[in-house]
Amino acid sequence: MHRFLIVIETAGGNFSAYSPDLPGCVATGATREETERRMYEAIQLHVEGLIEDNQPVPASTSFAEYVVVPAYT
């Protein structure tokens, strides 16, 4: 089993997603949920392709954290 961080961003009227550990593996969708589902499918295909091509599946090294800073007015 592989585990990858994905980042979902708003992109105008839709959403886009990518994984920092899988360059070039991206997805878009009309909703956040659709984008997450499509990104899951894109990662599955990406990993399957790597395996079929006898390429290593990269280890996930990315992580995310929120940082809270005071609001200045």
Q: What is the pLDDT of residue 49?
A: 96
Rounded-to-integer distance, Cα 31 and Cα 14, Å: 6
Whether 41 maps to a domain, the answer reads yes
Q: What is the pLDDT of residue 73?
A: 78
Q: What is the pLDDT of residue 45?
A: 97
Q: Which domain holds residue 15?
A: 7-52
Whether 66 maps to a domain, the answer reads no
Q: What is the pLDDT of residue 1?
A: 85
Whether 63 maps to a domain, the answer reads no
Whether 15 maps to a domain, the answer reads yes
Domain count of the fold of the chain: 1
Could you state, in chain order, the average pLDDT of each consecutive group of 10 residues for the chain (73 residues)?
Answer: 95 96 97 98 97 96 95 86
Whether 69 maps to a domain, the answer reads no
Q: Are the CB atoms for 25 and 43 separated by under 8 Å?
A: yes
Strands 14-18 and 26-29: antiparallel
Rounded to whole angstroms, what are the CA distances from 55 to 43, 46, 47, 59, 67?
15, 11, 9, 12, 36
